[in-house]
A and B are shown apart, each in its own frame.
Chain A
Amino acid sequence: MHAANRHRSTPGLALVLALCLGLLPLAACKRGAQEAEAPAPKAAADAGPPVTGDWLVEHLLSDPEQLNPLTSNDATASSLLGHMVESLLDRDPDTLALRPLLAASLPEVSDDHLTYTFHLRPDGRFSDGKPVTGEDVLFSIKAIKSPKVNAPFLRVYYASIVGAELVDPLTIRFTATEPYFLNESVLGGVSVLPKHYYDPEGNLDGVTFAQVANDDPATRPQVAAFADRFNRDFARAPLGSGPYTFGEWKTGERVVLIRNPDYWGYGHEGIETPYVDRLVFKIVNNTDAALVTLKAGDLDVMGLDPLQHLRQTSSAKFKESFSKVTYYSPSYTYLGWNNDSPIFHDPAVRRAMTMLIDREAMVKTILFDLGQVINGPIYRFRPEYDESITPPPHDPAAADKLLDDAGWKDSDGDGIRDKVIDGGRVPFSFEIKINSGNEVRKSVALTVQDALRKHGIEVKIREIDWTIFLDDVQGRRFDAVVLGWAMSVNPPDAYQVWHSSQIDNGGSNFIGYRDDRVDEILTAYRREFDADKRIALYKEFQQILNRDQPYTFLFMRQSVLAYHRRFQNVQALPIGGVVVSRWWVPKALQKYGTAPAP
């Protein structure tokens, strides 16, 4: 017989309650140490002259891989390094003209465009106070050319530079093998690294540029010794001559850059001199969490994706503290047809594809109107862009006719067009490959699949991991891909992507476009030093591409940046992008400590 078990066990409940109470103090002691919210930011009009101070807390989705100025590969690292390391020339953000930075003036160029002589500023200094000399520039170019330095991408970029010599301590002369109109820009872009920091043992001292460039066996041991150390020991603490110095990098948490009040650029015309004392890059791996972090005030600026911009950042409370700026970046998305495949070999078919796809609707529904349709590979805001191009219109009826005329008819009544090629019946069925993790490209593929189905074309979509995708693209194993190109605001050079020599060996002309006139234009363009003639050449180039439709050019996207209102002078440049070094905060609104702490 069992005794009824009706006894209450109060100790159990008490324990539970005690636990809950015990956990509360942790919650209660949320650190209120953050200074009281800054007073409502005033309008910019009464802000007065720019002053230094305050911190800018930016958002990073993940750590940079490493901060070695030459061997790092990712965009995050380049943008961080851009604040700390400088080059001989840079581009005026407003006019895009080349202007001297560490060089005292633009280089002297020989008549044959093969020799470039740079004179350095006498007062350029690295952040540790040591002067920037020709030796450092020579060292930098030697480091780039060193075979064992883990920067093959950068190295081939400078493949045509075959000579570098010091004329005097502040003058360096480069020699190129071919007269390329971007040579000046390429040479001006060499990151000037301090020799005393990056080669403390002087391994490259006794090695001439020629010996490094030609991988001379006599000097291989020294070069290898240098490269070994260089690859391994400088991943985390870069040193340069830029306005910011490296503060700290707590992996997975943040990277801090500290303004150098002794930066050599202060007081010089034409040099961007920043006001913000610290750039804190907070790492938040998740974009939803990042948006909350922004709203909580722990981030000052963040890029918003279209949904966040339209739906999650419109409240009055948000607008009180934050403002937004939208700008274009030089990049575009496209549908690349494999020009060598039996289906897309025919330009009429490619033209029909473009006419079947409603690109304007895509901008509306996929980009939420944050972008615009483009019709060629040149950045819309550059002078080379041809405004007069009339792209194939969105005209499904005309497209049907084009396809019928090209021989693609539904002859067996299965709803899918087909054509007899080489004696066999080939259905109009193909596969679009996209890389996983990109919502926009996936939406593009789905939209295209849907649009084409109604016209007798069967589209399959294959979503694969980026590394495998890249392999397939470079190996030309695809029918169609949705991809994008990121360019720069610099003068374009379409050679790599459109010249017929770039089809094999994993070149960037992976769609296989071939046109003799285009090849001529692209080669002549590179040697053309008259800007107007270059523009004329590229306009013809764009007209030919428009006729042939090797890609279906889709759109370029607009980025939205949300930033805290206390920052003044936040403007989108006409050409796209923002210049962070022009932002500043009035004294009364500064939120974080003003003294640059060690």
Chain B
Amino acid sequence: MARYLVVRVLWMIPTFIGITLISFLIVHLAPGDPAKLAAGGGLGAGAGAGLAADKRAAVNRAVTEWRTQFGLDKPLHVQYVVWLGNLVTLKFGESFKDQQPVVEKIARRLPVTILLNVLSIALIYLVAVPLGIYSATHPYTFMDRLMTVGAFVLFSLPTFWVAILAIVFLGGGDFYDVFPPGGLHATDYSTAWPLLTRAGDLGIHLFLPVLILSYGGFAELSRFMRGSLLETLTQNYILTARAKGLSERVVVYKHALRNSLVPMVTILAGILPSLIGGSVIVESIFSIPGIGQLGFQAVLARDYPVIMAVFTMGALVTLVSILLSDILLTVVDPRVTFKRRVAS
């Protein structure tokens, strides 16, 4: 196992470099010049406010100086190598927008996104697995068909639309006032509140975002679960178990379920990265200050250090979660081992 791990981790390195190189190229080659945005008047009023031509020369000079200061005047491959070198020493640089260290900006927002995603994954599994099991053990019944249709409907509803609907109908506007319309904390939130009140406040604010982040996963995962369990239930050893006289509960939950959970584990590798992507939309609509929102705004402002840091994190998370799910697979499925099988 150790040897396998080492080989896998070593393989991660060129993959990681590939991902970051492509991201780097896309970010830098995309039109839009951060120097002009940062030093030349920004996205705001300054850009259109009218500057006399003679003064424009002075501003252009400042823009060029700015570019030099941040190393943006060097050729692309040199810039990439410099960035990579900095990365190895964990120097993520400072944001173009406000010169704050990128690490700090991300660290401030990471907990929220992690919380959102962890809750979401937990919720997805908690809901989808039982739903899938029910569907598989009662195949082609009315409930099963209802769940199938429901799953497809849910799957097709775009998250940004559902999010807005949820806010409009449940957020206290013209309709029902069940949840707050967004944000993480109440307006008069104070750290002086007791822990339980604070937790409740956070809970009520996160309920809708987590639900919306997850509903697509309910559909997807419950379908997988259903399919996997159904397939397992047709295996011969299940027939044997039944023939032996075991109760249905034991057959399904003790024998079939464990084997059908295998694909659910490997799916985890695919779910996590897509959740990070999906949280950009949810974070923007619900005004939740997480990494998704940070990354999106950084892209708009061509804030290269932040963009690259967020992409790097995304790449790392994806690679690690793939590795993790491969390892988990060996835990869950004893047929999969790291050792080479001797030809028999």
Contacts of B44 in A (CB 8 A): 73-76
Contact with A along B268-302 (1 / 0, CB 8 A): 00000000000000001111111001100100011
Instruction: Tell whether, in the assembled complex, residue A74 and residue B45 are in contact, meaning their CB atoms are under 8 Å apart.
Output: yes
Taking CB atoms and an 8 Å cut-off, the chain B residues in 155-202 that contact chain A are 164, 167-168, 171-174, 177-188, 190, 197, 200-201
Q: How far is the CB of B173 from chain A (nearest CB, A)?
A: 4
Q: How far is the CB of B189 from chain A (nearest CB, A)?
A: 9
Q: How far is the CB of B47 from chain A (nearest CB, A)?
A: 6
Contacts of A231 in B (CB 8 A): 99
Contact of A284 with B by CB under 8 A: yes
Taking CB atoms and an 8 Å cut-off, the chain A residues in 285-304 that contact chain B are 285-286, 288-289, 291-293, 295-298
Contacts of B131 in A (CB 8 A): 12, 16
Q: How far is the CB of B234 from chain A (nearest CB, A)?
A: 8
Alpha-carbon distance A157/B188, docked complex (angstroms): 41
Once A31-B186, A153-B51, A298-B181 are accepted as A-B contacts, the answer to whether A486 and B289 lie under 8 Å apart by CB is no
Instruction: Tell whether, in the assembled complex, residue B57 and residue A282 are in contact, meaning their CB atoms are under 8 Å apart.
Output: no
Q: How far is the CB of B226 from chain A (nearest CB, A)?
A: 11
Q: How far is the CB of A237 from chain B (nearest CB, A)?
A: 12
Contacts of B242 in A (CB 8 A): 3
Once A282-B183, A293-B182 are accepted as A-B contacts, the answer to whether A27 and B100 lie under 8 Å apart by CB is no
Contacts of A57 in B (CB 8 A): 187
Alpha-carbon distance A483/B50, docked complex (angstroms): 12
Taking CB atoms and an 8 Å cut-off, the chain A residues in 47-84 that contact chain B are 55, 57, 62-63, 65-66, 68, 73-76, 78
Once A27-B204, A29-B204 are accepted as A-B contacts, the answer to whether A62 and B297 lie under 8 Å apart by CB is yes
At the interface with chain A, which of B14-22, B31-39, B78-86?
B31-39
Instruction: Tell whether, in the assembled complex, residue A232 and residue B94 are in contact, meaning their CB atoms are under 8 Å apart.
Output: yes
Chain A CB within 10 A, most for which of B33, B187, B188:
B187
Once A11-B249, A13-B134, A26-B207 are accepted as A-B contacts, the answer to whether A465 and B186 lie under 8 Å apart by CB is no
Count contacts on B: residues with CB < 8 A to the other chain: 94
Instruction: Tell whether, in the assembled complex, residue A232 and residue B197 are in contact, meaning their CB atoms are under 8 Å apart.
Output: no
Alpha-carbon distance A254/B186, docked complex (angstroms): 11
Taking CB atoms and an 8 Å cut-off, the chain A residues in 489-543 that contact chain B are 495-497, 501-509
Instruction: Tell whether, in the assembled complex, residue A284 and residue B203 are in contact, meaning their CB atoms are under 8 Å apart.
Output: no
Instruction: Tell whether, in the assembled complex, residue A470 and residue B36 are in contact, meaning their CB atoms are under 8 Å apart.
Output: yes
Alpha-carbon distance A484/B181, docked complex (angstroms): 33
Contact of B305 with A by CB under 8 A: no
Instruction: Tell whether, in the assembled complex, residue A289 and residue B286 are in contact, meaning their CB atoms are under 8 Å apart.
Output: yes
Contact with A along B40-76 (1 / 0, CB 8 A): 1111111111111111111111110010000000000
Instruction: Tell whether, in the assembled complex, residue B203 and residue A29 are in contact, meaning their CB atoms are under 8 Å apart.
Output: yes
Contact of A593 with B by CB under 8 A: yes
Instruction: Tell whether, in the assembled complex, residue B289 and residue A252 are in contact, meaning their CB atoms are under 8 Å apart.
Output: yes
Contacts of B177 in A (CB 8 A): 296
Instruction: Tell whether, in the assembled complex, residue B138 and residue A9 are in contact, meaning their CB atoms are under 8 Å apart.
Output: yes
Contacts of A65 in B (CB 8 A): 42, 97-98, 301
Once A7-B248, A153-B41 are accepted as A-B contacts, the answer to whether A485 and B51 lie under 8 Å apart by CB is no
Once A9-B252, A286-B285 are accepted as A-B contacts, the answer to whether A292 and B43 lie under 8 Å apart by CB is no
Contact of B133 with A by CB under 8 A: yes
Once A153-B51, A486-B45, A505-B53 are accepted as A-B contacts, the answer to whether A253 and B31 lie under 8 Å apart by CB is no
Contacts of B321 in A (CB 8 A): none
Contact of A279 with B by CB under 8 A: no
Contact of B8 with A by CB under 8 A: no
Instruction: Tell whether, in the assembled complex, residue B100 and residue A235 are in contact, meaning their CB atoms are under 8 Å apart.
Output: yes
Alpha-carbon distance A465/B33, docked complex (angstroms): 12
Contacts of A310 in B (CB 8 A): none
Contact of A268 with B by CB under 8 A: no
Of the four ranges (under 10, 10 to 19, 20 to 34, 35 or more), the interface on chain A belongs to 35 or more
Instruction: Tell whether, in the assembled complex, residue A250 and residue B138 are in contact, meaning their CB atoms are under 8 Å apart.
Output: no
Instruction: Tell whether, in the assembled complex, residue B204 and residue A30 are in contact, meaning their CB atoms are under 8 Å apart.
Output: yes
Contacts of B36 in A (CB 8 A): 467, 470-471
Instruction: Tell whether, in the assembled complex, residue A467 and residue B183 are in contact, meaning their CB atoms are under 8 Å apart.
Output: no
Q: How far is the CB of A61 from chain B (nearest CB, A)?
A: 10
Residue of A with least CB distance to B45: A75
Instruction: Tell whether, in the assembled complex, residue A12 and residue B32 are in contact, meaning their CB atoms are under 8 Å apart.
Output: no
Instruction: Tell whether, in the assembled complex, residue A285 and residue B239 are in contact, meaning their CB atoms are under 8 Å apart.
Output: no
Q: How far is the CB of B281 from chain A (nearest CB, A)?
A: 10
Residue of A with least CB distance to B247: A7
Alpha-carbon distance A126/B197, docked complex (angstroms): 37
Contact of A406 with B by CB under 8 A: no
**B188 CB contact (under 8 Å) in A15, A485, A592:** A592
Once A19-B127, A29-B203, A31-B204 are accepted as A-B contacts, the answer to whether A504 and B172 lie under 8 Å apart by CB is no
Alpha-carbon distance A5/B239, docked complex (angstroms): 11
Contact of B111 with A by CB under 8 A: no
Alpha-carbon distance A9/B184, docked complex (angstroms): 39
Q: How far is the CB of A155 from chain B (nearest CB, A)?
A: 7
Alpha-carbon distance A283/B53, docked complex (angstroms): 37
Once A7-B137, A27-B179, A467-B37 are accepted as A-B contacts, the answer to whether A285 and B171 lie under 8 Å apart by CB is no
Residue of B with least CB distance to A22: B126
Contacts of A30 in B (CB 8 A): 178-180, 204
Instruction: Tell whether, in the assembled complex, residue B285 and residue A153 are in contact, meaning their CB atoms are under 8 Å apart.
Output: no
Alpha-carbon distance A495/B41, docked complex (angstroms): 19
Can you sample 22 A-B contacts with CB below 8 Å?
A16-B127, A30-B204, A31-B186, A150-B38, A153-B40, A153-B46, A159-B58, A251-B289, A253-B183, A253-B184, A280-B187, A285-B293, A288-B164, A289-B171, A289-B286, A289-B287, A297-B172, A468-B32, A470-B36, A470-B47, A470-B48, A471-B31
The 4 nearest A-B residue pairs measured at CB: A252-B289, A296-B172, A73-B42, A507-B53
18 additional A-B residue pairs with CB within 8 Å, beyond A252-B294, A284-B182: A5-B139, A7-B248, A9-B248, A13-B134, A23-B207, A30-B180, A57-B187, A152-B61, A152-B62, A153-B41, A254-B187, A292-B168, A296-B180, A298-B186, A467-B43, A467-B302, A471-B36, A496-B52
